[in-house]
Structure 1
């Protein structure tokens, strides 16, 4: 090994460095042939003499001589290892950079978003549609599952694929009588056994039903139903219903065997069934929010406000909103347009019409935009009449609805999902 700077070998350079270190710390002691060590009296005399000489106040001081301090006496000479060349990693260490983190949200930061239905929906976990592979927040999806009717006495009863998220009340009311949402343990059983009452402990939870999610769009559901029912090959296509189910359900990873996949069933009127169920859910949510806040214009800081609407137009809506008094979190609300009662029309037909109103209007109080829900298009005539009979506030032409708790937030999200489903 050769030193690049001095053109010396490593052995010569090392020998020179050690000589410098030892010469620097060598103590010069006079030669003496005596092997006796000085006694304590001689050492004390030398120490006294040195101290007297050093601390004499009248001793003249040379111009270039500096006065000794106590720190100089206590200062220790550097160790030989400290005089060796050190690595730059030790002399100039680079401290690791702290990873930047976002500031933890405080309760004051969460308060504006706690009662914002749109923020809560977007903050829900992202899930994937099994049909289109689209990734959306979980609050914008409908849960689907497999339902087996307990009244079926066939040896191989069909397994119905239905939106269990819209049938929660029906399943809870008729779980033991008519139909049951299947779990992974019950999927392989041919006749469903009646549940026996048992005590539920912390470690013995009941099995959860299997669910998957599909995009809430009427054109997608219509295309899927037509593909399963078109032509003479409809039976073969119905046998491929298992393709829309998650892979974690299928054998060997899941409980869905080939025998159970052959018993899957799909409704021929699934689009109309979904429209009717979503409309009924929205009507029930509006009635529940109406019962929670009884007063029309003074219910808990303006949850419901009547809008004096002159015409069904964007300018008329903005003019009516401009006259409203400003309330807290007004930008989280929405406009509900009831419309005039229609006569001579079948109230049971779930026909989907297009609204002439805009999707959102400008709110001058907060300089923001609020959505518009035309209930005369979103709901059927029978459901509108039931709303008008349930509460007098729904007899007006338009209402401004601002959420104030979880019930009212769920109502706005239900209307939002229904509007997105019908619009496609």
Structure 2
């Protein structure tokens, strides 16, 4: 047997290292409290490599957080089912245009991506395109650095030479890489920029005399000069206001079609038909979806319309409840509203429907956000 086996060898820290040795032949024992190692020849200082507390502190935050489980109490259950509370609980961010600080839910985030052919930076509404394959979640740092260098070189070159108008005026109006039928991947770079999620604000970016003409160049106003150069020269879609509207509508319609399939195929009750306004009080309390029915001669629900009803508590007392009423043809447009009525069986008959259950909370929040994106506050009392 080799004589090297008689020499005490360092060991990786473990739970057993903090306990008393099992027998007298144990070469040493670790005392993490006094930060020393007790050996046959005397006490030695404890190395951090062998200190269990060192490893515990180093690995403390390496364990991934557990996914959110079921609600533990009634307050948490009510919060998860309340789309308005969840919206107000989102982190605060500042609008780069108005400098107002609001929950992120009320703002639209923008990122820059590189055009796959020209390499020019384009503004895209990132959160509305999170399911698109062309927006990479982890951009390559080398490609970002190379794109920045190319853009800065182009800026310097334009300062030295006289620019000539392009032969083809449509050359600079190529479709944005954000289109869903684009096969090449555009990679986002730079920090996110935020602006109020308002259609009239984005339309004013391209309207002379609006006071916000070309305000998209100030989206990176509070960022470093490196990205401010990009923000000032990035391409902004002429139809960005309607493009964002189409993405928001598409997200709502897809969600409604998905819930409709669950209702039909799995007998779920996420979308419930109401047989008139008097029937609303007998349903679960969620947002109301109103589809125009000219034969009923009803008044059209306006922006931010609500319906007052009540529910009973455990003591049998009536508690007032106010639910939002969404005019679906106005929010989604006649074409998308007609698509829902034709493709979703739950909307086949009737004109008033209610969203029910915690699973519809995100959909109710998106409807509310879409309502705020389109609303004209100037005519509101």
- For residues 241 and 377 of structure 1, what CA distance do their matches in structure 2 show? 28
Aligned residues: 258
Q: 1:409 aligns with which of 333, 353, 361?
A: 361
User: If each structure's strand is expressed as a fraction of its own residues, which one has the higher value?
Assistant: 2
Question: Per the alignment, do residues 307 and 207 of structure 1 end up closer, same or farther by CA in structure 2, a change over 3 Å counting?
Answer: closer
- For residues 304 and 288 of structure 1, what CA distance do their matches in structure 2 show? 11
Partner residue of 2:93? 127
1:165 is aligned to 2:127: yes
Q: 2:114 aligns with which of 133, 145, 148?
A: 148
TM-score (norm: length of structure 2): 0.58
Partner residue of 2:305? 359
Shift of 1:184: 7.0
1:189 is aligned to 2:130: no
Shift of 1:221: 1.7
- For residues 140 and 375 of structure 2, what CA distance do their matches in structure 1 show? 33
Contact 1:282 1:414 in 2 (8 A): yes
Question: Per the alignment, do residues 184 and 282 of structure 1 end up closer, same or farther by CA in structure 2, a change over 3 Å counting?
Answer: farther
Contact 1:355 1:377 in 2 (8 A): no
Query: SS where residue 226 of structure 1 aligns?
Result: coil
Q: Which runs of 5+ in 2 are unaligned?
A: 1-70, 151-186, 312-318, 377-381
TM-score (norm: length of structure 1): 0.53
Partner residue of 2:257? 287
Question: Per the alignment, do residues 361 and 159 of structure 1 end up closer, same or farther by CA in structure 2, a change over 3 Å counting?
Answer: same
**What does residue range 20-419 of structure 1 map to in structure 2 within 5 Å?**
107-152=73-118, 157-170=119-132, 172=133, 174-175=134-135, 186-190=143-147, 210-227=191-208, 241-248=216-223, 250-251=224-225, 255-256=226-227, 258=229, 260-261=230-231, 263-294=233-264, 299=268, 302-309=269-276, 317=277, 319-322=278-281, 324-325=282-283, 327=284, 330=285, 333-340=286-293, 355-356=301-302, 359-365=305-311, 366-395=319-348, 396-405=350-359, 408-419=360-371
Contact 1:184 1:210 in 2 (8 A): no
Question: Per the alignment, do residues 131 and 185 of structure 1 end up closer, same or farther by CA in structure 2, a change over 3 Å counting?
Answer: farther
Shift of 1:169: 2.5
Question: Per the alignment, do residues 115 and 209 of structure 1 end up closer, same or farther by CA in structure 2, a change over 3 Å counting?
Answer: farther
Partner residue of 1:66? none
- For residues 184 and 133 of structure 1, what CA distance do their matches in structure 2 show? 30
Question: Per the alignment, do residues 125 and 369 of structure 1 end up closer, same or farther by CA in structure 2, a change over 3 Å counting?
Answer: same
Question: Per the alignment, do residues 184 and 410 of structure 1 end up closer, same or farther by CA in structure 2, a change over 3 Å counting?
Answer: farther
> Looking at CA atoms only, which structure, 1 or 2, has the larger radius of gyration?
1
